[in-house]
Every structure is written in structure tokens, then in C-alpha cells.
Amino acid sequence: MDSLSESGNQGRVFVLPLVCSNGILADDLTVEFSPAFDRSPHPDPGLESSIDQTWEARLARQPSLFNGSKFRYGGCKILESQDGHPSRVCLQLGLTDYKHHVGTALCPRWQEFVVPEAQDDVALCRHIASNLGNGAIVETSDNRVIVLQRGTDVGECPGQPVFPGGHPEPKVVGIAGHDIEPGTSASERNAAISREMFNAILLEILEETGIPLDTLSPPVFLGISRRKTSMRPTAFFYVQCALSSSEIQQHYATAMDKNESTKLTACTQEEVDIEAPKMPGCHEGGAELYRLFLRAKGLAH
């Protein structure tokens, strides 16, 4: 399995549960959506009840936040490998929401939700919301990488540099729960979720940077990064853009979600290495996935 062992992550602020160094296109990424991958309630009723309390307190401080369903990362399976690298992958996803992310991962007691004696990443986080985020390594026509500076009125990591991204959304594919809609099969629903993984990251790029969709290449899946603080998992994708960094700056001025960031920077590979340690751990892990991808392609500096 082309993933980094825990020992390979000593001293880092992230772990990489899944590394796809050669990259995976949409046809080779499948999804298994099941309640088996939902969050397990914590056996301590006091800790479990603190989730609602944390959410209400957070809303009182930041009323711009809203709850919404999110996909939960519950693990992955390598279906096929080539030369030691995953070539077909299945993501195992459940359902959670932003309230449980705030109440289990962003709360002061988040470490109490972690299972310290667990033997693997999935078991370690079984009481954590594990909302699956997404992030994009957007490479410009002049070989720069887009980095955003987060705004202050955001749900997490205010003021930090990040790659463009957000979340794939269950509601986009008509999912409000695990019941299957009449006339739809489980395999059809799984296929729709898989497509949403790739469509969602393109939409996030458009909304956060203003880059037109018709200038973006099909996304290439690079793997999963999880930050050690709060255990937040993020799926990372590599996307090429036909525009130069100066052209992208012009589009950024009118981006739909420009209020979520204060600055767009087009970085060289060397500058990405400098910015990465300032990022949230899951995005620093995204920078590492990008480095591994470049190395596999023989393009690393």
C-alpha cells in the first residue's frame, strides 16, 4: 500500500492515511457509502452531550456558521496497484455534519474523543466526526501553485495560508441520510458520490479563486491527509490551469467566495515548501502529497 507508516510521520503535524503518488483519475476512484462508516457515539454520556453545548456556544460567538451534512471519512481500500502504487482505490464514506465536527474536532476536549489504544487511523478516530474536506493543488501555466490566505470570519484556521478547497457536499447528490431513494440503487448512489468528489473540488476552485472551469484540467486524486490536531481528513487533488498567475489574480478580484480569504499568492515549488509549515496540518500534508506526486513523475526540484 502506497501510504506512509506512522513511523514515517514522527515529528510531523499530519499523517497520510493514503498516498497515490502516480495520481488517480475519476474512473479509478470508487466510493462505498454506508452507515458502517458513520461516527460511533462516545461511551461517556457526559462527553457525548458536550457536543451540543460546544456547538451552541460556538454559534453564539460566530452566528455566521451553519450546520450541514458532510461526508465522513471512514477508511479506504486499495483495489489495484501498479509498481507498488495504488492505481484503483475505494473511499469508505459515512455521513456526519458540521455540528459534530465542531463538537468533536474543534472543541478544547477533542483529544478525549480519540481512542489512544487504537491500532489504525480509522479506529483511532471512530468517535471523531472526520468530516472529509477537499483541497486542490492548482498549478498555473507558468508553473506556480495557488495559495490563499484565510480570512478571519471562517469556521477554522483563520488567517492561515491554505490551498483552495472546502467539502464535497452530500446535498448536491441528493443525500440526506442512508435510505436509498426509490428507483436508485446503492451502486448508482456510490457512483454519484464518486463523481461529486471530483466535481466538488473544481467548484471550490471556481468559487474561491474565480478561475473559470473551462481553464481547469480534470482533477487527479493524490490521496488523503489528516492533521494530528483535531484529526481532520482532507482529500487532495492536482489540477492544472491554462491561465498564468497574473491572469488568475484578475479573476480572483471577482471570486464568488472571496470573502473567505484575504489574498491569493502564486508560489513556486520552493515557496510552497516555505508556506507549508504555516498551513493547517492537513494542508501541510497536501503539500507533501504534491511533492510525492512530483517525485513519482520525475519533476521534483
pLDDT in tens, 25-63: 999 999 999 999 999 999 999 999 999 999 999 999 989
Backbone angles phi, psi at 260, to 5 degrees: -80, -10
Is residue 167 situated within a structural domain?
yes
Q: Mean pLDDT for the chain?
A: 93
- Above 80 in pLDDT, residue 7? no
Band of the pLDDT at 101, cuts 50, 70, 90?
very high
* Distance between CA atoms of residues 225 and 136, nearest Å: 12
The type of residue at 137 is I
pLDDT in tens, 67-81: 999 999 999 999 999
* Distance between CA atoms of residues 9 and 93, nearest Å: 24
All 3 cell numbers of residue 45? Answer: 454520556
Is residue 301 situated within a structural domain?
no
How many domains does the structure of the chain reveal? 1
* Distance between CA atoms of residues 161 and 150, nearest Å: 6
Is residue 237 situated within a structural domain?
yes
- Above 70 in pLDDT, residue 115? yes
- Above 90 in pLDDT, residue 171? yes
Given this model, what pLDDT does residue 6 score? 35
Burial 243-255 (b: 16+ CB within 10 A, else e): bebebbbebbeeb
Q: What percent of the residues of the chain are helix, what percent strand, and what percent coil, each to the nearest 5?
A: 35, 30, 35
- Above 60 in pLDDT, residue 2? no
The type of residue at 56 is E
Is residue 231 situated within a structural domain?
yes
CA angle 250/255/257 to nearest 5° reads: 150
User: CATH number of the domain that 257 lies in?
Assistant: 3.90.79.10
Give the residue-averaged pLDDT of 283-295.
97
* Distance between CA atoms of residues 277 and 264, nearest Å: 17
Q: Which domain holds residue 224?
A: 6-296
Is residue 1 situated within a structural domain?
no
Is residue 209 situated within a structural domain?
yes
Residue keyed to cell 472529509: 132
pLDDT in tens, 119-137: 899 999 999 999 999 999 9
All 3 cell numbers of residue 194? Answer: 464518486
3-state SS class at 166: strand
Is residue 26 situated within a structural domain?
yes
Is residue 245 situated within a structural domain?
yes
| pTM across the whole model | 0.94
